[in-house]
């Protein structure tokens, strides 16, 4: 069954394929975004970036926002607890970096973020959520503002579909929903019915997220929810070809087979090269360790190789191990 439709549009941004690389802290840096783009991700997002860090011009924070033209269209995601700080940060991001989309994080369930009133903590105070969203939308009228959110703080405070119309009225241009509560974190199942409910409540593009483990799950989410796009997070870890397979299914084509071990290692090497080029050797090798854990799996002998890579002390040792597999 083909799902090929007209291109998705968010504000003035046209998106060729409705598959989004989710913002993931410590993961979706330049190197991973470029690899995802190479495999057909329609849009990629930065790691979530602190609004307070932005307005303080923290060097590490600003580095997280940098991107290349190859990554466009790209969304920069910011988080914070203050309308004023979020407004100022949004303006600074647009002025300095010119992203295609500015995204507000109302979805992070991590306690160190929510304890400060940021991330999904806003779902406990929808008036604060409104104030932050209005401030950001008004600060950057020339850029589409989107929201990524959870379904509520806990099972007794679900905010779907209520938030759909109110965010649309404020001027948000799309909503990505991970239909778990903050208290669920990543446990239990994502309630896809809430994505359907949100879609029925608003004319905005709705992006579904949660429990997308295979390209077949993407098609099931489209069918069950009527969403306009699908955002992939953990399913793409060590698996950037996910987007190539999903694109084929979406167009009604036969998806390419799973990559061979040699192809998998080749993609891992390319990711590693991007990591070193962007972060430098010392930081790049340290950051790549977790990616080795995701790439080097699913074949005989993967476990000892993975352990050896993760424990290697430098780039040369890592490259030698990867070359031994080829």
List, by residue number, the catalytic residues: 108
Distance, in Å, from the CA atom of 64 to the CA atom of 47, rounded to the nearest integer, reads 7
Which residues contact residue 44 at a Cβ distance below 8 angstroms, ignoring those fewer than 6 apart?
20, 21, 28, 33, 36, 37, 71, 74, 75
> Among candidates 326, 71, 45, 265, which has minimal Cα distance to 273?
265
Q: How many CB atoms lie within 10 A of CB 280?
A: 10
Taking the C-alpha atoms of residue 59 and residue 208, their distance in angstroms, rounded to an integer, is 33
d(CA 102, CA 8): 17
Strand pairing class (19-21; 43-45)? parallel
Which stretches within the chain are classed as H helix? 30-38, 51-55, 59-65, 83-97, 111-114, 126-139, 163-170, 192-201, 215-225, 242-250, 261-279, 281-295, 302-311, 315-325
Phi, psi of 194 (to 5 degrees): -70, -30
Question: Which region holds residue 117: left if phi is over 0, alpha if psi is between -120 and 50, else beta?
Answer: left
Q: Give the Cα separation of 209 and 217 in Å (integer).
A: 11
């Amino acid at each position: 069954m083909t799902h090929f439709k007209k291109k998705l549009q968010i504000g003035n941004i046209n998106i060729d394929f409705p598959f989004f690389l989710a913002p993931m802290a410590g993961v979706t840096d330049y190197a991973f975004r470029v690899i995802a783009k190479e495999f057909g991700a329609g849009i990629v997002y930065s790691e979530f970036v602190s609004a307070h860090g932005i307005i303080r011009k923290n060097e590490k924070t600003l580095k997280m926002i940098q991107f290349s033209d190859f990554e466009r269209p790209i969304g920069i995601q910011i988080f914070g607890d203050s309308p004023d700080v979020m407004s100022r940060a949004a303006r600074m991001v647009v002025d300095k970096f010119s992203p295609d989309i500015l995204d507000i994080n109302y979805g992070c369930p991590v306690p160190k973020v929510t304890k400060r009133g940021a991330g999904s903590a806003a779902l406990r105070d929808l008036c604060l959520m409104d104030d932050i969203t209005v401030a950001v939308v008004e600060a950057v009228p020339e850029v589409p503002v989107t929201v990524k959110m959870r379904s509520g703080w806990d099972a007794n405070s679900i905010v779907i579909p209520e938030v759909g119309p109110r965010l649309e009225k404020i001027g948000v241009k799309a909503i990505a929903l991970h239909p778990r509560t903050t208290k669920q974190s990543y446990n239990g199942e994502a309630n896809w019915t809430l994505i359907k409910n949100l879609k029925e409540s608003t004319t905005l593009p709705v992006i579904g997220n949660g429990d997308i483990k295979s390209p077949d799950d993407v098609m099931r989410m489209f069918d069950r929810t009527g969403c306009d796009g699908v955002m992939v997070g953990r399913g793409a870890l060590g698996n950037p070809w996910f987007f190539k397979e999903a694109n084929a299914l979406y167009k009604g084509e036969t998806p390419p087979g799973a990559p061979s071990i040699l192809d998998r290692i080749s993609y891992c090497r390319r990711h590693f090269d991007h990591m070193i080029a962007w972060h430098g050797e010392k930081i790049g090798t340290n950051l790549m360790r977790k990616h080795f854990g995701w790439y080097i799996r699913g074949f005989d002998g993967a476990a000892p190789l993975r352990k050896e890579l993760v424990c290697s002390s430098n780039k040369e040792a890592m490259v030698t191990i990867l070359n031994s597999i080829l």
